[in-house]
Each structure stands twice: as C-alpha cells, then as structure tokens.
C-alpha cells in the first residue's frame, strides 16, 4: 500500500483501429475537461495518455498542445528502419509526437502471432527510441478456466520484459483477454491477486524499479467501474479501449483519480 501511494497513476486510452481526422475534437474536448474554463492547464491527478492510430499521432499531438495529454502509438517494429513494408518504427512514432507506445497487446499477439520474444524486442525498440513502453500481458478465458492465470502471466512477463528496465520507461498492463471489449471484468479480488503477483515478480527481477513500476489494469474499464478497479492495491491506472473513444467517458475514468 505504501508503494501505491508514491506511484503516480496513468490512465491510457487505446483507440485501436478507430478514429479519423474528425476525432481530433475528442482530444480537444478532453483537454478542456482537464483544464476547465480555459485556465492554464492544470495537472490532472493522474497522467493521461491517448494512443490513436498512427495516422493521427501528429494531428492529435497538435490538438493536445498546452494540455497535459500525452500521445502514444499502439505498436512498433523492433528495427529502427529498413525494408519492412507497412511497418512503423519506434523512432517514427517518436518523430510524429509520441512519447509512449503499447507493445504486446493481446490483439497484436493474436492477430499477428507476436511471441514474448517479439514483444520484448519491441519494448527494447521503444526504449532505444526514447519512448515509454506499455507492455501488455493477460490470460485467455481457456487459460483462466484451467487455473493457469498466474503461470501464464509469469511466463509472459519473463519473456516480454527486457533486462535492466526502469520504472520511468516501462509500464506493465494486465489485460485479461476475456475482459477486453466484453463488458466483463474480473472481481476486485482477482485483480488484486494478479497485480500482487505481478508486483512480486517485478520486485524480484528489477528490485526498486519493479516496486515503482506502474501496473495498469485493462479490460472493460468504464466510468462506472473505474473508481473500484483503481482502488485495488497495486493498480496504478488503467488501459482503456472502447471507453477512451469519447472524451466524456474517458474523462469519467480519469476523474476516478480526482
Ligand atoms: P476495452 O479494451 O476497454 O474496450 O475492453 C481494453 C484494451 O484492449 O486495451
């Protein structure tokens, strides 16, 4: 609990494959909600991040100017440049205005066959480029039903996190696959159990850095359940999909930290 008080929370929105130029207005609106009545931008009680599709990074960065909203990517290639048609490097995301990048989201792992080793290389790429890596882990429903949740998470963490991490440049997100986009969430007891285990693993491997690292919960977080989920020990913020698309909903989650 003591460690939790010291960790500044992060509420991160993952827009996934949603958003066109017009979606810029959501970031403008979010910025206004974070600093009401056009006063000098006030630091919200948590860090706020929006990860749009890469096509919108530059324009959302522009829209977020003067606010405390950070902009991030949703994935990156492990290499800095080269013959990889259609891919984007961490350096490119940074160049476009990103300061964070999500790696190893379960949709990337499932849709693109990303292994723990691939995710680890991407996290290393993020660090090479000077981005904060949000490394995602989480069990499927089948694994959960088989009682494998903690062992799956342990294996993913061992394989996906590079050595020598520090808490400033790495965030871990626990996202049970069965809770993503389904409206279902684990009980607070289950979230507490998994997050305590993740904290113990990080502490063992990364010592003080593991103790200070931010652990996000993700999977059907919405304004109505955010405060409860965020009050769980070792939960230092949220990774939000669907409810991050509209400024009003996303701000409702950020407000859980007010
Ligand atoms: P969701 O997605 O909030 O829509 O469940 C979370 C995520 O995939 O990051």
Fold of 10-16+46-257: TIM Barrel (3.20.20)
Strands (E), 106-207: 132-137, 170-174
> Residue 234's closest CA among 177, 166, 188?
188
Average of per-residue pLDDT across 56-85: 97
The residue to mutate among 102, 184, 218, having the most atoms of ligand 1 within 8 angstroms of its beta carbon, is: 218
Rounded Cα–Cα distance for residues 165 and 8 (Å): 18
Q: What is the pLDDT of residue 97?
A: 98
Stretch among 33-37, 40-44, 50-54, 187-191 having the lowest mean pLDDT: 40-44
Question: Residue 194 in contact with residue 151, Cβ under 8 Å?
Answer: no
Confidence of residue 152 (pLDDT cuts 50, 70, 90): very high
Q: Exactly one of 77, 105, 127, 251 is catalytic; name it.
A: 105
The pLDDT value recorded for residue 6 is 78
Question: What is the pLDDT, as a whole number, of residue 175?
Answer: 98
* Among 214, 241, 216, residue whose Cα is nearest residue 229: 216
> Residue 32 contacts by C-beta under 8 Å, 6 or more apart in sequence?
38
According to DSSP, residue 141 is labeled H
State the pLDDT at residue 40: 55
* Alpha carbon nearest to ligand 1 atom 2, residue: 241
Mean pLDDT of 213-237: 97
pLDDT tens digits, one per residue of 107-140: 999 999 999 999 999 999 999 999 999 999 999 9
Kindly give the distance from the C-alpha atom of residue 24 to the centroid of ligand 1, in angstroms, as a whole number. Answer: 20
d(CA 248, CA 173): 23
Nearest to 176 by CA among 198, 201, 161, 158: 198
11: which strand partners? 48, 238
* Gap between the Cα atoms of 87 and 82, Å rounded: 9
pLDDT at position 39: 54
User: What is the rounded average pLDDT for all residues in the chain?
Assistant: 95
């Amino acid at each position: 609990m003591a460690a939790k008080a010291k960790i500044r929370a992060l509420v991160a929105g993952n827009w996934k494959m949603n958003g066109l130029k017009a979606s810029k207005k959501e970031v403008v609106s979010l910025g206004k909600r974070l600093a009401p009545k056009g006063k000098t931008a006030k630091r919200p009680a948590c860090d706020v991040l929006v990860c749009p599709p890469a096509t919108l990074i530059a324009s959302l960065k522009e829209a977020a100017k003067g606010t405390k909203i950070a902009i991030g990517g949703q994935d990156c290639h492990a290499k800095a440049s080269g013959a990889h048609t259609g891919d984007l490097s961490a350096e490119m995301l940074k160049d476009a205005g990103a300061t964070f990048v999500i790696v190893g989201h379960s949709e990337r792992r499932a849709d693109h066959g990303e292994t723990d080793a691939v995710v680890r290389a991407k996290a290393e790429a993020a660090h090479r480029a000077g981005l904060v890596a949000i490394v995602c882990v989480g069990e499927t429903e089948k694994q959960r039903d088989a009682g494998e949740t903690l062992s799956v998470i342990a294996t993913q963490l061992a394989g996906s996190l590079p050595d020598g991490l520090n808490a400033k440049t790495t965030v871990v997100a626990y996202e049970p696959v069965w809770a993503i986009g389904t409206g279902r969430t684990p009980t607070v007891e289950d979230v507490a159990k998994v997050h305590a285990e993740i904290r113990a693993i990080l502490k063992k491997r990364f010592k003080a850095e593991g103790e200070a690292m931010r652990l996000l919960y993700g999977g059907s977080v919405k304004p109505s359940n955010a405060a409860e989920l965020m009050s769980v020990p070792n939960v230092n913020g949220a990774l939000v999909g669907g409810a991050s698309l509209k400024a009003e909903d996303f701000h409702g989650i950020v407000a859980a930290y007010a």
